Amino acid sequence: MLPQARAHAAAILPYNVGARLPVLSDRMEGSMRHLFAGLLLTLSVVALGAQDRGLSSLPTETAAQKEARLKWWTDARFGMFIHWGLYAMPARHEWVKKYERITDADYQKYFEQFNPDLYDPREWARQAKDAGMKYAVITSKHHEGFCLFDSKFTSYKATNTPVKRDLIKAWVDAFRAEGLKVGFYYSLLDWHHPSYTIDRNHPQSPANDAEFDALNKGRDMAVYRQYMKDQVRELLTNYGTIDIIWLDFSFTGGGRGKNRDDWDSVGLLKMVRELQPNIIVNDRLDLLDVPGGWDFRTPEQFKPREWVTMNGQRVPWETCQTFSGSWGYYRDETSWKSPAQLIELLIETVSKGGNLLMNVGPTARGTFDGRARERLAAFGRWTQLHGPSIYGATQAPDGFKVPANSLLTYNPKSNRLYVHLLAWPMGEVVLEGYADKVKYAQLLHDASEVRMSTRKSTTWISEDTRAGDLVLRLPILKPDVEVPVVELLLK
Ligand code: GLC
């Protein structure tokens, strides 16, 4: 086969197939070989057409391969998001520069004073681990453009502030040491880079087109694209194995937005996959329609009503959520979710086959504030006793009716079903249609037996029970856990 044809064919086919091509072709003889080469050439030409649009050049894989690559992550279910940057100092939203239209000159005071003297990422990692989280994703750079890491390509970085350290290096080491997988968030937006064009989300966005054009004179996205690539290369080269990358975000439609052409999303993602072949990538590069263009969907600050789908197929998903509304530390926010709401959020997410990425916005001194610590501790008290209903668990199989006021999860490996009781019942729970499905039931937190019956009671009170139903007999007193769980060992 012509070397170019082989190279093109390898580029357009899923990489596992491409890798096998030389072996196949070396074994082929005569006309078969020509026929095969011809077919590949045709494929290459077709693909080259698509490649002009840049979309077919990403490595793709089979559904089973993707499932295997994501397995640790779908089993993990629960991770920590960390939004930390200069915006922790104003402490009134990570978008403060945009919301208050702060100029670079006025924002500079934060850079000059950034000195998180209490920063101890080992302490963060311990808190994440104790909360039951299995991975963490930190903002290496947020929209403000400030880099927590030591980049060769900018001076706008932590090493040039009073803290004088690569904050990411210490973070990666600390989280790995606690056995957590690590990920980087990297903002596609950049409100500080001089070549980044002013768009509608930029702090300096003006009122009309003429002003946009005037402001954008001399700004050049090609320069910025190269900067991004250089920085992402640094992040994926200088810090060992990176398990997740979170690139945020595209805003298409509506005028003065930014899409995959602005970021060269395909080129960027290709590089990401080359540098870290097993990395898991979010979905905000504006490549939803491109095979291999994303690994998981990211519903933000809302609960999807069911397992997230694309073209009718269930897909991996992770909802990212905040404790109080903003992502960066916001001193005066009062809308903090209660521990019960948060634990229910985790359960509900897993009950629909998803992951939860729960955000903490550390303070400018480098600590988790008391309200965050309390909530992480509440997560920990619950997950410590209820791990089997979360890790490796997923949506219950069809055919298990969800009882009132509860959420179901299922662990396929152990064949156990988990009934999370959001409102503690008055002595019994009726599981409709479960009569022949369960061999044993217990409370998960203390492994105490839950007696079951399928027989109608002789008292009038249980008249409601129908053939096929299973009744769980529970104590009147709610156990001392936020959300009690009944573990059902299925037949
Ligand atoms: C949005 C916001 C951002 C936050 C992110 C988390 O894209 O712009 O502040 O980092 O959501 O998903």
Q: How far is the CA of 191 from the centre of ligand 1 (A)?
A: 14
pLDDT attached to residue 158: 98
345 burial via Cβ count (<10 Å: 0-12, 13-18, 19+): middle
Higher pLDDT, residue 298 or 10: 298
DSSP reduced 3-state for 248: strand
Considering the domain delimited by 63-389, tell me its CATH architecture.
Alpha-Beta Barrel (3.20)
pLDDT tens per residue, range 100-130: 999 999 999 999 999 999 999 999 999 999 9
What residues line ligand 1, using a CB cutoff of 6 Å?
A: 83, 94-95, 248-249, 300, 320, 327
Q: State phi, psi for 430 to the nearest 5 degrees.
A: -95, 125
336 burial via Cβ count (<10 Å: 0-12, 13-18, 19+): middle
pLDDT attached to residue 22: 31
b/e string for 166-190 if b means 16 or more Cβ within 10 A? bbbbebbebbbebebbbbbbbbbbb
In angstroms, the first-to-last Cα distance of the chain is: 56
- Mean of pLDDT over the chain: 90
Are 406 and 420 spatial neighbours (Cβ–Cβ below 8 Å)? yes
Question: Residue 319's pLDDT band (boundaries 50, 70, 90)?
Answer: very high
Fold of 406-490: Immunoglobulin-like (2.60.40)
Q: Which of 249, 283, 302, 321 to mutate to test ligand 1, by most ligand atoms within 8 A of the CB atom? A: 249
Domain ranges of the chain: 3-55, 63-389, 406-490
Residues of the chain with pLDDT > 70, as a percent, come to 87
Does 29 have pLDDT greater than 80?
no
pLDDT attached to residue 466: 80
b/e string for 11-27 if b means 16 or more Cβ within 10 A? bbbebeebeebeeebee
d(CA 87, CA 97): 8
Does 43 have pLDDT greater than 60?
no
Question: Residue 467's pLDDT band (boundaries 50, 70, 90)?
Answer: confident
Beta strands at 244-248 and 181-187: parallel, antiparallel or unpaired: parallel
pLDDT attached to residue 477: 98
Higher pLDDT, residue 202 or 466: 202
Query: Identity (one letter) of the amino acid at 188?
Result: L
Question: Residue 32's pLDDT band (boundaries 50, 70, 90)?
Answer: very low
Here the tokens at position 394 are: 């997923």
pLDDT attached to residue 123: 98
pLDDT attached to residue 6: 33
pTM (predicted TM-score): 0.89
Nearest atom in ligand 1 to 320's CA: 12
Does 236 have pLDDT greater than 80?
yes
Q: What share of the chain is helix, strand, coil (3-state, %, to 5)?
A: 35, 20, 45
Does 371 have pLDDT greater than 80?
yes
pLDDT attached to residue 54: 67
Are 77 and 410 spatial neighbours (Cβ–Cβ below 8 Å)? no
Does 51 have pLDDT greater than 50?
no
d(CA 303, CA 314): 16
The closest alpha carbon to 469, from 408, 428, 422, 421, belongs to: 428
Q: How far is the CA of 481 from the centre of ligand 1 (A)?
A: 33
pLDDT attached to residue 55: 73
